[in-house]
Structure 1
Amino acid sequence: MTKSNRLSKLVKATARLPQGIRTALLSKTFGRIVPMVGSARIRYEQVSHDQVIVSMANHKAIQNHIGQVHACAMALLAETATGFVTAMNVPDSAIVLIKSIKIDYKRPTKGAMRAVATLTPEQQQLMQNREKGETLVQVSVTDESGEEPIQCEMLWAWITKSQLSNKTKA
């Protein structure tokens, strides 16, 4: 059974809304919480305990010198999807932190981007029942062609908020 936290309760509260309104509301809300996500105009298409799907149009603010989605913007999209699926599962007493990112750029992008981050039931249980830990979150990043211009590995950790404040004092 999946445990709820504040983030998952917020997502659940929007479940009765039509998909378009829910996407706009979650995107605006999360964009205010994480300003860089808002600046990139990342859209939250689906948010659940086992999967988060986010997308980003190929707009001027995130383009590189050849009019494609910038490498850093693709990394942000993958990091956002994996971070939010992790955050949906940790207790309210914990904070999630990216531990490592590995990205292989395979080919130029074509148009808008989409990232799908997925957790296994075992990963969800680990996050919900351990005070701290880490896990490699699977993510697939595709462009409008349906191909994966990048391949990513995102290692996320979670620790209690009190552990974080102790580390920042040291």
Structure 2
Amino acid sequence: MTQTNRLSKVVKATSRFPKSIRSTLWSKAFGRVVPMVGTAHVKYLEVSPARVTVKIDNHKAMQNHIGQVHACAMALIAETATGFVTGMNVPDHCIVLIKSMQVNFKRPSKGAMSATATLTEEQQKLMQTTEKGETLVSVTVTDETGEEPIQCEMLWAWVSKSHIKNK
């Protein structure tokens, strides 16, 4: 019962391209829509209404004082993946907003980082059929070792754009 919105239509339109080209197209296009994501060179690896995976390389501009991905960049990819999977599901007349973010740092990271956000079928249906709501979006952030140096909790909300304009 997946409904489509403009974002999911863009993703679907790229489905005929090879995976490596799709990833490049998504990263460039979405980096223009959200400039900070583009500046950080976040790469979109997988995009669907149920799952989004993004990656950030351990490049100089995103490093901390010990030469690893900076804490803010780790939070950025978690926020990007969860926000994007949420955005794939809300109707075009709604806007998504992060309501809260909790990031717990467990250990130093090693190398590039990836974040994978997932939604259940129930969460997708709720987003697609209600004007206003909120949900905790599951996200796993791993480094090159496959371990999770951070654990995150991202609460996303959506509301009709007309509700925002009338405030």
Range of TM-score over shorter length: over 0.9
- CA distances 1:8-63 after superposition (whole Å, capped 9, x unpaired): 00000000101111000000000000000001100000100000000010000110
Give the distance between the partners of 1:147 and 1:99, measured in 2 at CA.
27
Task: Give every structure 1 segment of 4 or more consecutive aligned residues whose post-TM-superposition deviation is greater than 3 Å.
Answer: none
2:55 matches 1:55: yes
Please state how far the C-alpha of 1:164 moved relative to its aligned partner. Answer: 1.4
Give the distance between the partners of 2:110 and 2:54, measured in 1 at CA.
17
Please state how far the C-alpha of 1:166 moved relative to its aligned partner. Answer: 2.2
2:131 matches 1:131: yes
Match of 1:150 in 2: 150
TM-score norm. by structure 1 comes to 0.97
SS in 2 for 1:77: helix
Amino acid at match of 1:13: A
Match of 1:114 in 2: 114
Match of 2:101 in 1: 101
Give the distance between the partners of 1:88 and 1:166, measured in 2 at CA.
25
2:66 matches 1:66: yes
Give the distance between the partners of 2:112 and 2:127, measured in 1 at CA.
31
Flag structure 2 segments of 5+ consecutive residues without an equivalent: none
TM-score norm. by structure 2 comes to 0.99
Give the distance between the partners of 1:68 and 1:9, measured in 2 at CA.
36
Amino acid at match of 2:142: T
Q: What are the equivalent positions in structure 2 for 1:18-57 lying under 5 Å apart? A: 18-57=18-57
